[in-house]
Chains A and B, each alone.
Chain A
């Protein structure tokens, strides 16, 4: 019973912790612009992150090696360093975006200057990390993020034409570059590299072994799949409310408007609360990822569970990354713009993260009987092909569409 409960709690935390500011903004934008047409891309991205998170968790549980360790081992020092620099830059941008998102939500809830709330948010994150154990941090943000289930309720309350919604899951293409920009955006927002870095390192923090493989599979597959329902619900409620009105949701606060329209102040508060926990959790995940990667690459002691005494350089680097993110947000750049750059540039770094996972997870000499089977291998390589195409087209699409401005 205890083990079933643990698995259930892990799945619940994965659901609540699935969305970050990139998903919130890109999916809402996608719905407003293309109604339900991009639901297929959200589903595709969700399946992709479930596949790769499961692989990275399996590699961590079987070999005791987190993703960045694997990257360096498989790609060597030179390419590993390139991957480290790219992923650190993207991670710091992501932390800045999430920190800015936290400050925006606090501003919407308490109406004080944004720049003050950036500092408050950073201090709150430091306190949470200092006071709670690793599992406690995961559960706090995972369970809190479940408040966002209100958007699923909003979708049912709106009662859209479900046949039209279902058609959105069939891939469709137009000759519009802007459409492809958003395909890339919603796909990449689901597959941010920090998610697998954090997932695999977190598995090691929690002492996963081969005995945890079932838990890993259920967390990744069920947790991310249900999290994907939240992501799809964002597209649906935005497509239903914003698309016919021509609203362009350029602000994080707009994401909560459909909940207000459907359920009044209660809906609004649930929506804002859910966003707060989702972006807060993502701020922790992405900042930890930056430190995990650096420490694993350089061979430092690492881990929240080891604490500042046993892993001082890991802890110091975490604080430095958070400070860098704080400075970026305080420089006045719109957090939504930072989000966009973080998502688009992460696409470029995706192959450097996912190729080594795929190679190691399929290597029988390394993984033994837990190596990828034929089905996992085919799916993994198919996704890797998609990832490479996106990596090659991301920046040209960003430039050609004026950053999604049309």
Chain B
């Protein structure tokens, strides 16, 4: 990773981990995204891995985290309305995961 992409990855790491902050919000108008506990854990771990990847300049790791988040998001969207799909959440959870996944993949692909 070059310096610019590493900086972007650091910000994405922060945004990813911070998204877990929606999990404890019980007040509906402020719960912009449904984040169940399992997804909150995934987001914190993904954020931590991205932070390490940014520090060690490993683009493959950022790309892998993005791919996992994107696949999880699309999987949750496809299973929405047909049970919890193992990770819980709702369509908003799917959108958050997909968006973060596209963000991770995007910053790496743009530099190639």
A binds B: no
Chain B residues within CB distance 8 Å of chain A: none
Residues of A near any B CB (own CB < 8 A): none
